[in-house]
A and B are shown apart, each in its own frame.
Chain A
Amino acid sequence: MKKKKTQRSYFIMRPTEFWLLFTEMFLIVWLWIFCTSTQSTDLNILILNLVILAVFLCSVFLSHLLLVIAGSKSDPTFLPLVVLLTGFGLCYQHRLSTISMDSPYDPSLILMLLSPLIVTVTCLIFRKDRIFWLSKTIWIWGVFLIGVPLLVIFAGVEFNGSLFGPGRTTPTELVKPALVVVLSGMLYRCGDRLSKDSSLFSKDTLKSLVFIFFVWLIPQVCFIFQKDLGMVFASFIIFVVLLYTATGRKIFWILGMIGAIIGGCIFRFYIPRGQIRFESWIEPFNHPAESGYQIIQSLFAMFHGGVIGCGIGEGFPVKIPYVHNDFVFASIAEELGLLGSSLLVFAFVYLSRRAYYAASKAKDAFQALVGVGCASLIWIQLFLNVGGVIKLIPMTGVPLPFVSLGGMACLTFAFVIGWNMAISDSG
């Protein structure tokens, strides 16, 4: 079997990926056509969007070609899943009229177009165990981890009650993979001391655990000061998951739950902004015109969609504030219904599962830890965004990677998935 495959032409070198991308192309074009026909028949915008679609498809096949030429043996489902999400995102940005003639070179948009390429290039750079570089440069990531939040605090701009980076970007997104790398690196170095053979209460073990905990805690203070609760939640989950993966001790789940309850209570009673968010989450219907407006409009949109949706382009997304950004999921749920949006959620979840699978096959503990951390980041981000949109958790203002118009999130998750792909291609 293997010999036969290698004798085939270049395109069929990664046949699964090729056929998946090929079938997917029709899917995206189909969605794009119906998104287009909802727009005004302004020819300029039509051409602009056509160009954008063409650039996107080119970047997809260029990515595939690069992987084929490099002879990558990475998991073939990563790229098609990323392309599915990005294609979804592009079509929906098109449908929501985000793309206009005024700003055709919106950096967020360009990052979205290039995300398959970024994933591929990241994979090719870090494959063949070169991801181990990360462990050697852990201190750089440590500086990054603490530096970026501090930068945002001192040089950031305040908007809608939260601090943003210069130019209203969210550089803190990049801190998520940095945190994964730093924690994985430290846990990897303390590996022997933390393994199941030694007692949890021995002096060495406790010492390293306390040290790791404090390294984790310092950026959290910045995040709380920055009022970035999504970030606190994400890094908390990452911390617990990585501790568990590194040590295999189930007690960390219990400790994690206790910590979560304590943290939730502090969030509820001591942080004033937390209280407002909490109330607009629990009882949005009591303030339908003010704090609850956004979430209520999102629920109306979803209710309008029902099970199969009201049809592409038939929804009323205009009333939802930030619909192209944080609330793009509400618009998708309205037009494609519970079924369509659940499939989108499933695509994310399956991407995360593939990342876990890649991590489980990793060659060494560091790669496994980075893999598990990055895989967890995917579903955490999904949960923070979609959970907020459907009123399951308070809004945290986190974009849906690849689907929302959020440049930093897109870039971050392109790196994250690139690393996962590289782990699966350890050669």
Chain B
Amino acid sequence: MIDSLLSLTQSPVCRIIASTVFIIYLTIFLRFILKSTKDNRRLPSGVFKITGFLPYLILLAVGFYQAKWQMFAFLDPDFLRVQRGFDPRGDLIGSRFHRGAIFDSNQELLAYDFENDNYLLRQYPIGPAAAHLIGYHHPIFGSSGLEKTLDASLMGRRVQSAGDFFRLLANGLVHRELRGNPVTLTIYSDLQKTAYKILENQTGAIVAMDPRDGSILAMVSSPSFDPNLLNKEYFESLRKSKESPFLNRAIHGLYPPGSTFKCLIALQSLNLNLKKTYKCTSKGFVTGDGSPALHDYQYYVSEQRREEYTGHGQLALDEALSKSCNVYFAFLSQDLGADRILEITERAGFNKEIPPAQIGLTGKRGNVPEKGNLTNARLARLAIGQDELLVTPLHLALVAGAIGGDGTLYKPKYLKKIKPEPWISLTDQRTATELARKLIHAVEAGTGHSARIPGIIVGGKTGTAENSSGNSHALFIGFAPWPDPRMAIAVVLEQGGFGGQAAAPAAAKMFMAADELGLFNDDRQDGN
């Protein structure tokens, strides 16, 4: 009999009833005490009243702060993150929060919850290939990337309507298991993997985007890490690593754009309708103030081989672009002047952070030299993308997209189901097309020839940025397929050597992968 009584009292329902009865009884009892002291409860005004008010203040402070955690702790993203890995209660209670999965454009999983012994672990199927873009969400090491910025909607905490508000309020009163909303991104895991494969043993970044609406198709930074394997030792070794694998070079790495910046100088020249030709000799570009002469890279190559270099000769803009003639652009910079050059960097938004469309990752602000102390020699170096000019790979991709598209820089769009947002207008459609044709020429018959792909017309510009602490950085920006570009790309390989030899083939591989995915077909179904 005692046993059956015990088993009855041990059922959870009975316990809830028991504690509810207890709470009600306790309330009645405390009311009793209050009633019994009804006649002698008031403190006389003065010091006693003021000091006697302090315990009530404590009651209020403790009550409200306790309610914050006890009822609405799920509004704290860190609380939920740690709870997934440290709360031993697991599924036994209805207060666990499942994080929404992340899908790519083809509805392939990029991140999902994995249940392991009462704890929830986040799994990333493509691992290091998207480690920077997707980021990680870990009970100990925090969160990063899109996992961090999209936290509210992934956790179902985002309040968009009155219904959401009341749902959260009700959940504060009675905790129920909540499931966050899945999120579909604009990226393609195949492209992501291809890009990661290209970058695998190098340092650098690749950003591919849709020039029509700013959708990010792939964004990879290298060296990367595996978010599935995070543990204390691994995390510490990553944090201490000199290659800084946690840095998302695509949006936070600042690089000199090198010759890719010549596109913008050329654009300014087209805007002003300057049809200049210069004679580019082997003497290079010399200013009167004693700065060293500025040469083409062929000059240095010939010097090493002890050959004679004759220079590019008389050049017009399109030939100068396709041969990436430093001397031509140095002369052109003197004719344009500092104001015009700084104006085009401003028009390209180099002096601003890159805001995402609605929500996503913000790109770092570029570095533009001050106007005040720009000498003629520095201006010439600025025109070939050296000097103090630094931009992120994402920014270069946006510029490539604007040239290949309608002359507008779009805000990078990470989520599939949102509207594209134009950011800055770089130029008009006509000028953009004119420049794009010159870039196609640069790939067809110029420095970017290794970006050529059979059957697809590619436009682009290589860049080789001098690096004071080692080998040059190799860059390439481009777009394909002409006449209706679907993908703009920026490739940056740290210490990769010549842009034409290292970065342009990488871009070609990316274009081919995109073509295989069917991105370049006209009948592509998309949700825009």
Contacts and interface: CB of A to CB of B under 8 A. Distances in A.
Contacts of B34: 350
A23 B31 CA distance: 12
A3 to B, nearest CB: 19
B369 to A, nearest CB: 39
A176 interface: no
Contact of B51 (A81, A245, A307, A382): A245
Interface in A310-346: 310-314, 316, 319, 333, 335-343, 345-346
Interface stretch (A159-167, A205-213, A386-394): A386-394
B37 A77 contact: yes
Contact of B82 (A16, A285, A337, A349): A285
Given A333-B66, A349-B59, A307 B71 contact: yes
A31 B22 CA distance: 7
B292 interface: no
Given A288-B140, A307-B174, A81 B33 contact: yes
A304 B15 contact: no
Contacts of A338: 63, 66-67, 70-71
Contacts of A153: none
A352 B55 contact: yes
Given A34-B9, A37-B6, A310-B93, A342 B66 contact: yes
B21 interface: yes
Interface in B18-43: 18-23, 25-27, 29-30, 32-34, 36-37, 40-41, 43
Contacts of B27: 343
B65 A390 contact: yes
A296 B88 CA distance: 12
A347 B88 contact: no
A24 B14 CA distance: 22
Nearest to B59: A349
Contacts of B88: 316, 319
Contacts of A392: 61-62, 65
B70 A337 contact: yes
Contacts of B89: 300, 304, 316
B51 A376 contact: yes
B22 A356 contact: no
B234 interface: no
A293 to B, nearest CB: 8
Contact of A357 (B25, B52, B69, B78): B52
Contacts of A84: 29
A132 interface: no
A303 B10 CA distance: 22
B272 interface: no
A202 B140 CA distance: 59
B36 A314 contact: no
Contact of A376 (B36, B54, B65, B74): B54
B60 to A, nearest CB: 10
B22 A336 contact: yes
Given A20-B33, A288-B86, A310 B62 contact: no
Given A245-B51, A319-B88, A376-B51, A347 B58 contact: no
Nearest to B20: A308
Contacts of B87: 300, 304
Contacts of A30: 18, 21-22, 25
Contact of A312 (B19, B47, B66, B173): B19
Nearest to B21: A30
A346 B30 contact: yes
21 contacts: A23-B32, A27-B25, A30-B25, A34-B15, A34-B19, A76-B36, A248-B47, A296-B86, A299-B69, A303-B70, A307-B173, A310-B16, A312-B18, A333-B66, A353-B41, A353-B52, A356-B48, A375-B55, A382-B62, A390-B65, A392-B62
Interface of A: 16, 19-20, 23-24, 26-27, 30-31, 33-34, 37-38, 41, 75-77, 80-81, 84, 241, 244-245, 248, 285-286, 288-289, 293, 296-297, 299-300, 302-314, 316, 319, 333, 335-343, 345-350, 352-354, 356-357, 359-360, 372, 375-376, 378-379, 382-383, 386-387, 390-392
Nearest 8 Cβ contacts at the A-B interface:
A311-B15, A285-B78, A356-B52, A360-B48, A37-B9, A379-B55, A352-B55, A311-B16
Given A338-B63, A352-B55, 17 more contacts: A20-B29, A20-B33, A27-B29, A76-B36, A245-B48, A248-B47, A285-B82, A303-B95, A304-B95, A304-B175, A312-B18, A313-B10, A333-B70, A337-B70, A378-B55, A386-B66, A387-B61
